[in-house]
């Protein structure tokens, strides 16, 4: 699967000067999903490339990308939310494809915590195994972090 977020500063530099009402996709989002290898429905409003809420210059973006200050207050939070949404899409697609997803986190005490998720499309069951305790829980669900675990696009 192609990671649509892999890009250089060039696409951002090109995008910041485009009118905001110009569509992101030349084709439909479904066509984009097919090209990128996604068979789940992408959340409404999730763009393939990060689009800041305010216009920034290519120089501001490059400075930020190289570890400089954010171009405006809240830019980092916007970018983090966009990236987290794509991580959720990737995880949901991985689950739908029948692979396991390992979600790791570092607790307040500095210790690794997390869980392994496995989706059974046939039964609609999400199994969660705790990485620390080994406890297993199952739930019947049709969503992963708000993303429907159904194929919107057939292979």
44 part of a folded domain: yes
84 part of a folded domain: yes
Predicted pLDDT of residue 117 = 87
111 part of a folded domain: no
User: Per residue of the chain (155 residues), what is the pLDDT tens digit?
Assistant: 444 454 444 444 444 444 444 433 333 444 555 556 788 888 888 888 888 999 999 999 999 989 888 999 999 999 999 998 998 888 888 888 888 888 776 667 777 778 888 888 778 888 888 888 889 988 887 778 778 877 765 54
Sheet holding 112-120: strands in order across?
101-106, 112-120, 125-130, 136-140
58 part of a folded domain: yes
The domain in which residue 16 lies consists of: 9-99
Domain count, the chain: 1
Which two three-digit tokens encode residue 55?
A: 């216009």
32 part of a folded domain: yes
35 part of a folded domain: yes
Collapsing DSSP to helix, strand or coil, 131 comes out as: coil
């Amino acid at each position: 699967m192609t990671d649509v977020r892999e890009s250089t500063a060039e696409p951002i530099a090109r995008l910041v000067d485009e009118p905001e009402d110009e569509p992101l996709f030349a084709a439909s989002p479904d066509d984009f999903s097919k090209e990128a290898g996604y068979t789940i429905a992408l959340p409404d409003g999730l763009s393939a490339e990060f689009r800041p809420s305010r216009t920034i210059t290519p120089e501001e973006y490059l400075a930020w990308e190289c570890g400089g200050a954010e171009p405006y207050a809240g830019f980092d939070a916007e970018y983090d939310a966009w990236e987290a949404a794509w991580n959720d899409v990737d995880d949901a697609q991985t689950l739908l494809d029948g692979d396991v997803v390992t979600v790791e986190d570092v607790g307040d005490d500095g210790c690794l915590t997390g869980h392994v998720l496995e989706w059974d499309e046939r039964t609609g069951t999400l199994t969660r195994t705790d990485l620390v305790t080994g406890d297993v829980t199952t739930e019947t669900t049709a969503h992963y972090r708000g993303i429907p675990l159904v194929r919107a696009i057939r292979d």
